[in-house]
């Protein structure tokens, strides 16, 4: 079951998991090794990326996310989302975060679900990170009934954007 709950018309900060999955394509392609995930050998760049992904996903650290975005410039992200039928999102040069609708979020999380089901050690690692997020409205609601949640909650503050609204959102997979 994939759920998305938003209080804002468009949302952005919960893009961290798809961003992490995009970074992990460099791992899947053999361009980068993540110590303790895909290799037992220390790799300085891989260790840095691993730490940044963990901070970005688990603790919702904007600086870690921004560093990943700067390091990889997310080449291919817009093409990836378009291939999923998500045509209302794009990274803009003046923002770290893309904006997209709850429907598009559902498409992205469906892709995340498929990735989580693969045999890839990086998929298993990212899946485990999504089980540990520090904030989860979904987890708070359904975990007492025995459900397992892989998610990323986010928020948009009206004071941070030219818009005059605030939004809280949570999206993810509930098993």
Over residues 7-56, the pLDDT tens digits come to: 333 333 344 555 666 666 677 777 777 788 877 777 788 888 889 889 98
In angstroms, the CA 50 to CA 27 distance is 10
- What is the structure's pLDDT at 38? 76
Cβ burial, residue 92 (10 Å; 0-12/13-18/19+): exposed
In angstroms, the CA 168 to CA 175 distance is 22
**Contact present, 132 and 148 (Cβ < 8 Å):** no
3-class DSSP state of 49: helix
In angstroms, the CA 141 to CA 143 distance is 6
pLDDT (tens digit, 9 = 90+) per residue, 133-172?
888 888 889 999 999 999 887 765 555 555 554 556 778 8
Other Cβ atoms less than 10 A from the Cβ of 128: the count is 14
In angstroms, the CA 7 to CA 119 distance is 35
Which backbone phi and psi does 61 adopt, to 5 degrees? -80, 110
C-alpha radius of gyration, the chain, whole number: 15
Give the global pTM: 0.78
Query: Hunting for tokens 């708070």 — which residue is that?
Result: 140
Give the confidence band of 69 by pLDDT, cuts at 50, 70, 90. Answer: confident
Other Cβ atoms less than 10 A from the Cβ of 7: the count is 14
């Amino acid at each position: 079951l994939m759920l998305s709950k938003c209080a804002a018309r468009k949302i952005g900060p919960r893009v961290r998991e798809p961003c992490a999955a995009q970074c992990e394509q460099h791992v899947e392609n053999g361009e980068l090794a993540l110590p303790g995930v895909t290799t037992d050998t220390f790799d300085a760049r891989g260790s840095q990326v691993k730490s940044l992904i963990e901070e970005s996903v688990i603790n919702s650290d904007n600086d870690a996310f921004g560093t990943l975005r700067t390091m990889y410039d997310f080449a291919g992200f817009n093409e990836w989302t378009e291939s999923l039928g998500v045509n209302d999102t794009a990274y803009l040069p003046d923002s770290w975060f893309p904006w997209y609708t709850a429907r598009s979020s559902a498409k992205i999380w469906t892709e995340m679900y498929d990735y989580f089901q693969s045999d890839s050690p990086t998929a298993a690692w990212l899946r485990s990170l999504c089980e540990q997020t520090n904030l989860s409205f979904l987890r708070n609601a359904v975990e007492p009934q025995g459900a397992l949640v892989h998610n990323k909650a986010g928020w948009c503050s009206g004071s941070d954007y030219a818009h005059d609204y605030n939004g809280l959102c949570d999206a993810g997979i509930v098993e």
